[in-house]
Amino acid sequence: MGTRMAATELAQAEPEPAAGGGPRPLPRAAREPYPLALATQALSIFALLGASVGLFIGSITRMSTDTFASYLANNDAAQGLRVRLFLFLAVGALVGTLPPLVLLVWKKRRILPALLRAGEISWPLCLIGVLRFLFSAEPWHGHPLTFLIGLSVVVLVLERALRRSQRALPERLTAWLAAKLSLRPALARWLPLCVVLLGSAWYAFYFSHYTILNHRRLGTMGYDLGINVNWAYNALHGEFGRNTVVFGNGADSANYFGVHAVLAMFTWLPFFALKPDGEFFLIFQAIGAGFAATSLYLFASTQMPRWSAVVVAYAYLFFAPLHGPNFYDFHELMPPLFLHFLLYWALAVRKSWLVALLVPMIWTYREDLTIGLVVLGFFLLVTGTRPKAGIAIALSSLLWFVCMKLVIMPRLWSGWFDTIYSGLQAGQRGYVTVLITILTNPAYFLTTLLEEGKLIYFLHFFTPLVFLPARRWSLLMLALPGFAFSLITTQYWPTLSIAFQYTCHAIPYVFAATVLMLGVLGRGEEGALRRRAVLGAMVLGTLAHSYVFGAVLQHETFVGGFRQINFEMSEEDKLRYATLKRLIAMIPPEASVAATEMEVPHIAARRSAFTLKDGDSDAEYVLVNSQHLGVGRSHESLRFMMNREPYRLLAQGDNLYLFRRGPITRETKDALARMSVRSPFKAAD
């Protein structure tokens, strides 16, 4: 029962004043009964608040991080510790109940409306007790479904609690706060944008720094950073489709534009020429992803007040599904995030010339980005938002996709990407057969969707955002196209992990739907109240989710790509990197090099660079890290090359070995023996 209704009932129960000014006493039988139910409601809220605070204090003061994590995972806390934790909860409930109970006894029913209002205002604070549970990286990082379902319940409850709390706030207080927080017009216009720009710059610096650190710790790989370095180097020297990291010895008869039609590469080649190595791509990627928050802010500010748009922009910056791919080498899907949000802004403010420019620009980053644009165009059409623009975007994007993906690219290279949908292909390869299966056998398609891993992936996106993209069918349709590269796949686990680049297909559309839903919630009599409530829940959801799975709030459990990321560079790491640079300096720039997978990005800026992971090559130099020989076919490839022709050891150190084609020595044989490789060639004197 709401505060207003309770106050009305209590007013009706009060006796009328007598002629002398005092209350006229009523006969005992005529008096209204004491509102016991309302009093119980008020006391229950304060008891819950006290118990929640007590549980939070008890878990913080009595349980270390490791003990608490083990307790959550295994329920293995000692009985005495459990009792103490329960006592904190019980005492908290008692402490929370006593003051309002004393007031009720002292002031009687006159104080009840105030207590009910205070209870309503306090509803969000009743969730304090779950904060320690939500902000525990262990064990939830290894048990994501439990965490995500729990967080889903919390954010949805918090949204409702914040609505009730705001309704109960005195109007004088809210008016006073609004007056105190108001800014001068110029400051109110530009300060939010400056706050977002600072956040974007922080993201670009933070992720540039730590991804470069990861690169120098040999945490990047030939697939995919080495691929992009070698491709850009060859393109810079006029061989636009040559990529030896991908095609190996067959690079001269293949064309990398058959793998991905990244025509946008020509726009970043001048910058790559200034810093032709892997670190350029890591910086470029972090800048593109970071400043996408600024273009998202511009779009969001067309649908809601500027400070609300700031919250959305920062939710994006802390969004864990963005962090994983940022640490997984370089992928063409991240830089155009800025263009996606700028396109939505251009559509919102009806800048048709900018829309016509941005759509083809997004095409050039990858051919599969057109799928999302087709759905975006259809959304603009069926919702009546921009029907003509929607038709143009959908048809032109579909035409580009058909021409590039189904006509031009197959002539340049026969790829394997369609095999990630093999469960829907019924024995016949290709994307068309996947579509046929979905349309003609939806029951079977549904069975492939109902998997725990796919539910977890879905919740990773929707839970932190309080399920805003799923609250309207049209918005859900807009949010789903990116999931065509994840939820529909059947036999390729990286597409269902937020540690890989496939999340970037969905991120722009999920945030677009989120912004539009916030715009819908902001309409009407209580629009501002509803918007603030859901934004408050989004803040908690994003921060808790980012703490467990993201790369910013804690560094103990974060995973990017195939491995957990280490955010520190030890003395051993520094020595190894110095040795690597020393060995690479011994290789002539024009020489061909084969290397173990994690060393490939460091030697890929040359015409011919090969990864031992995929097989042997005819490289003149071989760079080996003995600790990385277990990756793919690296050990087998090294053995084959060393048995096919002699390679001489040039230098070694910190598990790194550099060989050059030529007569071998006794030191060469000893080095190969340490890697379990025998050479049939005799050592030179």
pLDDT in tens, 499-546: 999 999 999 999 999 999 999 999 988 999 999 999 999 999 999 999
Where residue 424 falls among pLDDT bands split at 50, 70, 90? confident
Q: What's the full length of the chain, in residues?
A: 685
Report if residue 421 sits inside a domain: no
Quick check: 626 and 649 in contact, CB under 8 A?
no
442 falls within a domain: no
Residues 557 and 577 in one domain: no
Examine residue 360 and say whether the peptide bond preceding it is cis (omega within 30 degrees of 0): no
What are the backbone angles phi and psi of residue 684, rounded to the nearest 5°? -75, 150
Q: Is residue 112 part of a domain?
A: yes
Predicted local confidence at residue 410, as pLDDT: 87
Phi-psi region of 425 (alpha: psi -120 to 50; beta: other; left: phi over 0): alpha
Check whether 418 has a pLDDT greater than 80.
no
How far apart CA 438 and CA 424 sit, in angstroms, is 8
Contact 494, 507 (CB under 8 A): no
Q: Which residues pair with 610 in a beta bridge?
A: 594
> Do the domain assignments include residue 403?
yes
Same domain, 531 and 599: no
Q: How far is the C-alpha of 314 from the C-alpha of 322, rounded, in Å?
A: 12
pLDDT the model gives residue 3: 47
Integer-rounded Cα radius of gyration of the chain: 31
Interval 615-674: pLDDT, tens = 999 999 999 999 999 999 999 999 999 999 999 999 999 999 999 999 999 999 999 999
98 and 142, same domain (yes or no): yes
At 330 the three-state DSSP class reads coil
Are 612 and 516 contained in the same domain?
no
pLDDT value at position 11? 45
Taking only the tens place, the pLDDT of each residue in 20-29 is 444 555 555 5
Q: 434-444 pLDDT, tens per residue?
A: 888 888 888 88
Inter-residue contact 473 to 480 (CB < 8 Å): no
Q: Is the pLDDT of residue 30 over 70?
A: no
Q: Which of 561, 634, 562 is nearest to 596 (CA)?
A: 634
pLDDT per residue over 100-139, tens digit each? 999 988 888 889 999 999 999 999 999 999 999 999 998 9
Quick one: pLDDT at residue 2? 47
SS3 15: coil
227 domain-assigned: no
pLDDT band at residue 177 under the 50/70/90 scheme? confident
- Tell the residue number behind the tokens 């916030």, with chain if given: 518
**Amino acid code (one letter) for 537:** A
Tens of pLDDT, residues 289-337 = 999 999 999 999 999 999 999 999 999 999 999 999 999 999 999 999 9
CA dist., res. 257 & res. 296, Å (int): 30
Q: Is the pLDDT of residue 220 over 70?
A: yes
What is the token pair recorded at 312? 């959305």
Q: Which of 198-202, 421-425, 522-526 has the lowest mean pLDDT?
A: 421-425
Residue 408's Cβ-count burial label (10 Å; 0-12, 13-18, 19+) is: middle
Single residue among 181, 209, 228 that ends a domain in this structure: 181
Q: How far apart are CA 86 and CA 92, in angstroms?
A: 10
Check residue 6 and give its pLDDT: 46
Q: Is residue 245 part of a domain?
A: no
Contacts of 112 (CB under 8 A, 6+ apart): 6, 10, 35, 38, 39, 42, 104
- Does residue 429 surpass a pLDDT of 80? no
589-615 pLDDT, tens digit each: 999 999 999 999 999 999 999 999 999
Burial class of residue 633 in the structure, from the number of CB atoms within 10 Å of its CB (0-12 exposed, 13-18 middle, 19+ buried): middle
541 and 576 share one domain: no
**Spacing of C-alpha 235 from chain mean position:** 32
Instruction: Report which secondary-structure segment, H or E, holds 504.
Output: helix 503-521
Asked if residue 327 belongs to a domain, the reply is yes
Does 166 share its domain with 286? no
- Per the domain annotation, does 226 fall within a domain? no
Mean pLDDT (the chain) is: 91
Same domain, 211 and 114: no
Query: Looking at the structure, do residues 401 and 369 belong to the same domain, yes or no?
Result: yes
- Token reading at 521: 């919630």
| 486, two tokens | 């994840």
What CA–CA distance (Å, rounded) separates 215 from 40? Answer: 61
Indicate whether 364 and 332 sit together in one domain. yes
pLDDT tens digits for range 360-393: 999 999 999 999 999 999 999 999 999 999 999 9
Residue 503 sits in which domain range?
Answer: 188-218+260-414+451-564
Label the pairing between strands 621-625 and 609-611: unpaired
* The predicted structure's pLDDT at residue 5: 47
Q: Is the pLDDT of residue 563 over 50?
A: yes
Q: Are residues 159 and 194 in the same domain?
A: no
Domain final position from 564, 586, 607: 564
For the chain, the domain total comes to 3
Mean pLDDT in residue range 215-229: 95
Please indicate, yes or no, whether residues 209 and 327 belong to a single structural domain of this protein: yes
Domain final residue, candidates 156, 181, 206: 181
Query: Is 423 in contact with 448 (CB distance < 8 Å)?
Result: yes
Q: What angle do CA 444, 449, 455 make, to 5 degrees?
A: 160
User: Is 552 found in the same domain as 517?
Assistant: yes
The model carries a pTM of 0.91
